[in-house]
């Protein structure tokens, strides 16, 4: 299965990608996680990306396209993948189309658009806590860890992302409207777009997602 997740910051792409990746035994390729890790380690990629991320802007297309190309051509992605947070501009979507053609891939199966009103995504981002070691995502109210402030999976201390400050969230939502939302029409035209109402609880959204990627199983 080759799937793309599209949606505004905080709609729950990462949460659902982590769950679907386990169920389908395919990797979650999160450009946000890859870039955050590079920033943390101070690599050349991280140094290039840091200022863009901290101000809520997109990292330049050529940087992100290069790192996704490297991932998708690796053995890890041979049986499929969930692209979480890529593409995010029409130029990235076109580059992905070219990549798939060049590598003889059968192409994408689904592009899932997660829909949640901004007032709710803002609430979700304000309460998000993430594990810096294994990237598991929590919410202090909607999905808390068993032990306060600690990751259930690896025990690491949970952190709040620096780009979840209210003023940066506002900038990220504006960037989504201007630069990423045109992808909805792009994939609709290609017959790949599936919409998931993601306003419900996490388990319910997972069930809706499963029904969309495996319609025959739930019919």
Asked if 142 interacts with ligand AP5 (CB under 6 A), we say yes
Residue pair 9/53 in contact by the 8 Å Cβ criterion: no
Is 128 considered catalytic here? yes
Angle at 142 between CA 23 and CA 18, to 5 degrees: 20
- Give how many residues touch ligand AP5 by CB under 6 A: 37
75 C-beta neighbours (distance < 10 Å), count: 6
Residue pair 194/31 in contact by the 8 Å Cβ criterion: no
d(C-alpha 134, C-alpha 29), whole Å: 13
Least distance from ligand AP5 to the Cβ atom of residue 202, Å = 4
Taking CB under 6 A as the binding criterion, the range among 70-78, 85-93, 152-160, 183-191 that sits at the site for ligand AP5 is 85-93
Is 161 considered catalytic here? yes
Question: For the chain, how far is it from start to end, CA to CA, in angstroms?
Answer: 19
Of the residues 4, 6, 11, 183, which one makes contact with ligand AP5 according to CB under 6 A: 11
HSE-up of residue 128 (Cα within 13 Å, Cβ side): 28
Asked if 145 interacts with ligand AP5 (CB under 6 A), we say no
Cβ distance to ligand AP5 smaller for residue 4 or 26: 4
Cβ distance to ligand AP5 smaller for residue 154 or 201: 201
Residues 15-54 that bind ligand AP5 (CB under 6 A): 15, 31-32, 35, 52-53
């Amino acid at each position: 299965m080759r799937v793309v997740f599209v949606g505004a910051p905080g709609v729950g792409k990462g949460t659902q990608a982590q769950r679907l990746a386990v169920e389908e035994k395919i990797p979650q390729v999160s450009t946000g996680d890859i870039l955050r890790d590079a920033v943390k380690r101070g690599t050349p990629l991280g140094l290039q990306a840091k200022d863009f991320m901290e101000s809520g802007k997109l990292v330049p297309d050529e940087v992100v396209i290069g790192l996704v190309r490297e991932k998708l051509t690796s053995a890890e992605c041979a049986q499929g993948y969930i692209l979480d947070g890529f593409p995010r501009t029409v130029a990235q979507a076109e580059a992905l189309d070219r990549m798939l053609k060049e590598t003889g891939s059968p192409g994408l199966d689904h592009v899932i658009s997660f829909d949640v009103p901004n007032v709710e995504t803002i609430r979700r981002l304000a309460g998000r806590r993430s594990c810096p070691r294994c990237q598991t995502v929590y919410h202090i109210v909607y999905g808390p860890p068993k032990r306060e402030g600690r990751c259930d999976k690896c025990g690491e201390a949970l952190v709040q992302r620096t780009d979840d400050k209210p003023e940066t969230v506002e900038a990220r939502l504006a960037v989504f409207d201007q630069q990423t939302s045109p992808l909805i029409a792009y994939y609709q035209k290609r017959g790949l777009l599936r919409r998931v109402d993601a306003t419900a609880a996490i388990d319910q959204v997972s069930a809706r997602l499963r029904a969309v990627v495996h319609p025959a199983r739930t019919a």
